[in-house]
Amino acid sequence: MGRKWNNIKEKKASKDANTSRIYAKFGREIYVAAKQGEPDPESNRALKVVLERAKTYSVPKTIIDRAIEKAKGGSEENYDELRYEGFGPNGSMVIVDALTNNVNRTAAEVRSAFNKNGGNMGVSGSVAYMFDATTVIGIEGKSADEVLELLMEADVDARDIIEEEETVIVYADPEQFHAVQEAFKSAGITDFSVAELTMLAQNDVALPEDAQEQFEKLIDALEDLEDVQQVYHNVDLGE
């Protein structure tokens, strides 16, 4: 699964370089999670996941608090959760998750991004079956063997544990997100280099240089859309 971690690093680096955009997306996601349940992360697991993810992107507390207070205040602003599936250059596969208050606008914008960048929209289910919902949590300061022992002691199952450079990456089922984090926290580890609930491709593909350049433009165009929260794909972007 090493290549998959490369893709996550690439996406995270891209988002880190666009802080105002990622902060706005997290603000919306936090608001939706808080509004759908209790605005308390201890009793709202969806909100807790979003807040843990937000920490790895250094989202300011002011943005987090503002989104939660907005939900507490009974705002009438509502968002639909949508998933689009499509194909990029050379048959590459893309999943787009969005939160929107205007379904027609979002659908048109996503379709346009695909069409203008060598891709096309697919029907529901045309791509998602080639991806697995996955918890991905990374830490530093431990070896893969130490992490395995720590998880075993906490009775937490992992799909895979990969050690790359100074980071150990744990891949687990999506429902294990909190269990993995709690196992680390019980061992005094509270800083995570990555903490994601993501969609990982079962098989990554490599594209020729010209197609990869076009593919990266497609991903950038999709991620630039205001309503798009996450973009997943099956292309190995390399180092």
The CATH number given to whatever domain includes residue 222 is 3.30.70.980
The CATH number given to whatever domain includes residue 27 is 1.10.10.200
In a domain, 239, yes or no: no
Structural domain count of the chain = 3
Residue 67 and residue 181 in one domain: no
pLDDT category of residue 2 using cuts at 50, 70 and 90 = very low
Quick one: pLDDT at residue 14?
56
pLDDT digits (tens, 9 = 90+) for 137-174: 999 989 999 999 999 999 999 999 998 878 899 999 99
Residue 59 and residue 7 in one domain: yes
Host domain of residue 157: 131-201
As a whole number, the mean pLDDT across the chain is 90
pLDDT digits (tens, 9 = 90+) for 22-64: 899 999 999 999 998 888 898 999 999 999 999 988 899 999 9
Tokens of 130: 């080639």
